[in-house]
Amino acid sequence: MTGLARGRTERYWTSEGIAAVAAGDARDDLVQPEWTGDGSIAKTVGRLYASGTDGDLGACTATVVGIRTVVTAAHCVRTSIEGASPGEATWDKDLYFVPGYRRGTAPHGGFTVPLIRMAENWQADGLDVAMLEMYPGVDGRNISEATGAQPVSFAGEQGAMTYYFGYPYTDRLLHCSGTGAWEAGKRLRSIPCMMGPGSSGGPYLSGESASGSVVAVNVSGGEGVSYGTALGAFAERLYRQSEHG
């Protein structure tokens, strides 16, 4: 992304793009409770905006996990083509991350994305994860200087209590919790609650809900259960590349 493109992206989302997405947000009848607690999660989790190649606007959920690194689901930045290979999927454009988004506000500013790290065969089980390297904000600070960083673990514990956060096309951060379990033969973690579209990429935390470690990112759900890609050795490699180059 060039400097000019970066500036255009920032101006677009702050002037009209975020408002256009917010027009479809739910403000009542939330599918899960709103997160009203303090702690790091209120700053590190936010909405990741993107425009598709067809011009449609959309949003996922993402989390700050490093000095300049944000983790989300790979399908939040690439759109598959029916009948085509994963490598032929289209890249979403104009990525813009707003940590701590709430009711139309960006309390910690917004950040554009110069580099995405993910698997070429990202649609395979356990690989639907992406690490996004962020440009500094308009004040020159790295994203973690504005928000802090959520701890991240690449060796999640089987059966541990898991807390799930996301923006399922709502104007507030929602949450739920349950005992996490690995799916047989897959690097996936399931949790007995569901949010819906827009919460993809949202973090699953193990430990204290507001300060626990990210162990997975949401990728799908159905019949009251949500599924996340667990952060294993592959995600760890992406993370270290993003943080250390």
pLDDT in tens, 190-238: 889 999 999 999 999 998 888 899 999 999 998 889 999 999 999 999 9
Residue 198 per-residue DSSP state: T
Same domain? For 220 and 115 the reply is no
pTM for the model stands at 0.94
Q: Are residues 186 and 134 in the same domain?
A: no
Whether residue 1 has pLDDT greater than 80: no
Q: What is the number of other CB atoms lying within 10 angstroms of the CB of residue 106?
A: 19
- In this structure, the answer to whether residues 202 and 138 fall within a common structural domain is no
Are residue 119 and residue 189 in the same domain, yes or no? no
Residue 187's pLDDT is what? 64
Range of the domain at 178: 161-232
pLDDT-based confidence at residue 53 (cuts at 50, 70, 90): confident
Q: How far apart are CA 77 and CA 238, in angstroms?
A: 15
User: 142 and 61: one domain?
Assistant: yes
One domain, residues 7 and 126: yes
Burial 26-49 (b: 16+ CB within 10 A, else e): eeeeebbeebeeeebbbbbbbbbb
Whether residue 183 sits in one domain with residue 101: no
**Amino acid 55: pLDDT:** 80
Residue 42 has pLDDT above 60, yes or no: yes
pLDDT for the residue numbered 3? 52
Residue 184 clears pLDDT 70, i.e. is over it: no
Taking 80 as the threshold, does the pLDDT of residue 89 lie above it? no
In the chain, the number of structural domains is: 2
Does any domain span residue 82? yes
Q: Find the CATH number of the domain harbouring 8.
A: 2.40.10.10
Q: For residue 162, give the 3-state DSSP assignment.
A: strand
Return mean pLDDT, the chain: 90
Give the angle subtended at the CA of 132 by the CAs of 130 and 135, to the nearest 5°.
175
| 4, pLDDT greater than 60 | no
Q: Do residues 120 and 66 lie in contact, with contact meaning Cβ atoms separated by under 8 Å?
A: no
DSSP codes of every residue in 110-134: -EE-SEEEE-TTTTSTT---EEEEP
99 sits in which H/E element: strand 93-99
The answer to whether residues 238 and 117 touch, using CB atoms and an 8 Å cutoff, is yes
151: phi then psi, degrees, rounded to nearest 5: -60, 155
Is 67 in the same domain as 130? Answer: yes
**54 and 141 belong to one structural domain:** yes
Tokens of 99: 């940590």
Q: Give dist(CA 144, CA 139) in Å, integer.
A: 13
Predicted confidence band of residue 160 (pLDDT cuts 50, 70, 90): confident
